[in-house]
Homo-oligomer: A and B are copies of this chain.
């Protein structure tokens, strides 16, 4: 293995790939990064066996700064190669395999000799048919992740809830996340020319967090392929492969109330700020409980009380209330997470009673829906 590569190109590739490498692993192979140099391209791979991130740098791609392949070969290098290449003095970095899985890395008057591992020991990636994919814009996919991932369960007793449910039918993609106390739904339209469809694909939230970081920056096309228990994302020269969660995601259509008794329209930011302030007192209690009630059919009072800290009362006059009056208690955090994720300036809240889950949704479209289970208080 012998090649010369531009420092910035290499560092960008390593910054993506290294995110899949766990520092907790005891397996020195998976704690490292695999370099595979072929005739026309350098493939750099990091994996923790659940998520794999790979960058394919083509020597013929004119958009990529200088890559010169002198000899093919492969090796696994320890993860701190990332720190080393960041600090090298010159723009050109030369990699050369010596014997016994050691690599010489040269840049200007700086020379490292690093101990690596046999690339033959690296786990094989599963084969995924790259013909069967649908496409989505990276900005849209990033929004969909951001607007659902906060509702994913973080407790381990029901693993299927530790991911986001993906459903695709024709051009319609739907994300669902719930921790059984609140639920978030986000729908969008995609390009799907291959008649791909699925209804029980659950992607671990950790994989979506890593994917989200890769999606930063300019808007690009993301190609998504699913096969057996794996999902593969291709964004330009980066590939992220993740295993899927096993099991059947709970049926959520029956949970969403079909009738409403109270409808309230509110300014998103004003409501969010009031709940955030009330939460400063509420967070002293275990469930972060705040009270929300209509007063005189024309204003909202939000309040919270703590024996130790004191109490808080917020009034919202800028609202439209239709239907029954309501007095309900809920976890402030659930409302804050949902409201922060909503991009619209006005929202509609639909209640069907103090003990029933209520719906929060943007006033101007029906692509997102949040459901919050109230807390019974005395």
Residues of A within 8 A of B (CB): 78, 80, 83-84, 87-89, 102, 109-115, 273-274, 276-277, 280-281, 308-317
Contact = CB atoms under 8 A, between A and B. Distances in A.
A198 to B, nearest CB: 43
A310 B80 contact: no
A315 B109 contact: yes
A146 B360 CA distance: 51
Given A109-B316, A317-B109, A310 B114 contact: yes
Contacts of A311: 112-113
B87 A277 contact: yes
Given A87-B273, A273-B87, A312 B280 contact: no
Nearest to A106: B313
25 contacts: A80-B280, A80-B309, A83-B280, A84-B277, A84-B280, A87-B273, A87-B277, A87-B280, A88-B277, A89-B273, A89-B277, A109-B315, A109-B316, A110-B274, A110-B277, A110-B312, A110-B313, A110-B315, A112-B277, A112-B310, A113-B310, A113-B311, A113-B312, A114-B310, A115-B309
A111 B310 contact: no
A349 B120 CA distance: 48
A312 B112 CA distance: 4
A275 to B, nearest CB: 11
A309 B313 CA distance: 60
Contacts of A84: 277, 280
Contacts of A312: 110-113
Contacts of A276: 87
A317 B274 CA distance: 63
Contacts of A113: 310-312
A98 B313 CA distance: 16
Nearest to A317: B109
Give the interface centre of A112, A313, A314 by most chain B CB atoms within 10 Å.
A112
A231 B311 CA distance: 40
A308 B28 CA distance: 12
A115 B308 contact: yes
A208 B317 CA distance: 48
A308 B78 CA distance: 10
A115 B316 contact: no
Given A274-B110, A314-B110, A316-B109, A309 B88 contact: no
B109 A309 contact: no
Nearest to A311: B113
A111 B84 CA distance: 54
A102 B311 CA distance: 10
A281 B281 CA distance: 50
Contacts of A280: 80, 83-84, 87
A344 B174 CA distance: 59
A183 to B, nearest CB: 27
A143 B184 CA distance: 51
Nearest to A102: B310
B277 A109 contact: no
